[in-house]
Amino acid sequence: MFNDESTKNFTIIVQDQEIHVHKFILFARSELFQGMFLNVVNDLSNKVSDYTGRTYSQINSIIRILYFDKFDSETDSEVIDDFQDIIDYYQLNSRFIELLNQK
């Protein structure tokens, strides 16, 4: 699913780079995205670009973690140290707290 570009229906823009994702993955894993998607019913935009303080690499790692439920020590090394802050900011579900405790 992660590699299936044909079904991705939302674009995250960070540092002028695009990350294509499935809304339902973000919706299922993050209360922040749930609220955003539910509160913007009249907004037809399928893009969001407000990620102040995060790099493209960090956001891409967060997305990979949301899809795969695991850390990749090479690709996700930028976010591991800040993962508690990321869990809090994106209001991620309890599964990610378990991941944090396993690292």
Write down the domain spans for the chain.
5-102
Q: Is the predicted pLDDT of residue 8 greater than 80, yes or no? A: yes
Q: Give the tokens for residue 46.
A: 């399928």
Non-local CB neighbours of 69 within 8 Å, separated by 6+ positions: 95, 99
pLDDT of 6 strictly over 80 = yes
Q: What is the mean pLDDT of the chain?
A: 76
| Long-range pairs, 22-27, Cβ under 8 A, ≥24 | 25/1, 25/66, 25/67, 26/66
pTM score of the predicted model: 0.72
pLDDT surpassing 80 at residue 67? yes
- Tell me what pLDDT residue 40 has: 61
Q: Report in angstroms the alpha-carbon separations of 18 from 76, 101, 102.
A: 18, 30, 30
The reported pLDDT for the residue numbered 21 is: 92
Please give the pLDDT value at position 51: 67
In the structure, what pLDDT confidence band is assigned to residue 54 with cuts at 50, 70 and 90?
A: confident
- Residue 13 to residues 7, 61, 98: CA-CA distances in angstroms? 18, 14, 28
| CATH assignment, 5-102 | 3.30.710.10
Looking at residue 20, its pLDDT comes to: 92
Residue pLDDT, tens place only, 32-47 = 888 878 776 555 567 7
- Give whole-number Cα distances, 57 to 29, 54, 73, 94, in Å: 19, 8, 13, 23
